[in-house]
Amino acid sequence: MPLLLLGLLLFVASHSVAIVAPGLRTSLGAKLGVNGYKLVAALIAALGLWLIIRGFGEARLEPVVLYTSPPWMRHLVLTLMLPVFPLLAGAYLKGYIKSKLKHPMLVAVKLWAVAHLLINGRLADVVLFGTLLAWAVFDRISIKRRPGQPPPLTNPSLWQDAIAVVVGLVLYVLFVMSWHMKLIGVSPLG
């Protein structure tokens, strides 16, 4: 569990500079250059992700079960996960998904975390998904309060949304049918 906690700390911290210290990103960007700052932040996030993966894997070897979900919950989780990949894709495209939701990636993270909390009741699961859910909620709240918001997206495109939905659904099917088992070691289908 210590590796998981350290990894979460690094990963969340690297994504939370604007939440906890809004001026720090600007001052570090001035010292390191924008690309230098992004490189340092990316390296910290990558190290955090690696520690999360290692720590989560170790914690799964000696699980502490907090709750067990009923078998039918799997269907609800599969349904909740359905929009996650289209939302992730929509975060990078200039469509109505991005225009209306403003931050579709944070919506995707929140849905992903809630879905996984519904089905996974081990301590490591609750720590991982609960931490990322809390981060996404706090990040969204802080975005609304930050000065200098980007202007609204002009001329959103339905084609961009169509691309996001198609790409997202293809990724969803690949994850459900194969990648989740290969990467995580657990089949979402049971």
Give residue 18's pLDDT band: very low, low, confident or very high (50, 70, 90): confident
Residue type, 182: K
Locate 178 and state its tokens: 């194969």
Could you list the residue range(s) of the whole structural domain that residue 41 is in? 1-62
**Does 73 share its domain with 53?**
no
Give residue 7's pLDDT band: very low, low, confident or very high (50, 70, 90): very high
For 135, other C-beta atoms within 10 Å of its C-beta total: 21
Angle between helices 123-145 and 2-14 (to 10 degrees): 10
> Apex CA 127: angle with CA 14 and CA 124, to 5°?
120
Q: Residue 175 pLDDT > 90, yes or no?
A: yes
**Does 85 share its domain with 102?**
yes
**Does 34 share its domain with 102?**
no
Give me the sign of the Cα torsion angle 45, 47, 48, 53: positive
pTM: 0.89
**Does 68 share its domain with 46?**
no
51-92 pLDDT, tens per residue?
999 999 999 899 999 999 999 999 999 999 999 999 999 999
Tell me which of 62, 83, 111 is where a domain ends: 62
**Does 85 share its domain with 56?**
no
Tell me which of 12, 37, 62 is where a domain ends: 62
**Does 56 share its domain with 81?**
no
107-157 pLDDT, tens per residue?
999 999 999 999 999 999 999 999 999 999 999 998 888 776 777 778 889
**Residue 68 and residue 87: Cα distance in Å, rounded?**
29
**Does 32 share its domain with 118?**
no
**Does 121 share its domain with 161?**
yes
Average pLDDT, the chain: 92
**Does 150 share its domain with 83?**
yes
**Does 77 share its domain with 153?**
yes
DSSP state of 150: P
**Does 50 share its domain with 68?**
no
**Does 158 share its domain with 71?**
yes
Q: Residue 25 pLDDT > 80, yes or no?
A: no
Q: What is the pLDDT of residue 155?
A: 87
**Domain count of the chain?**
2
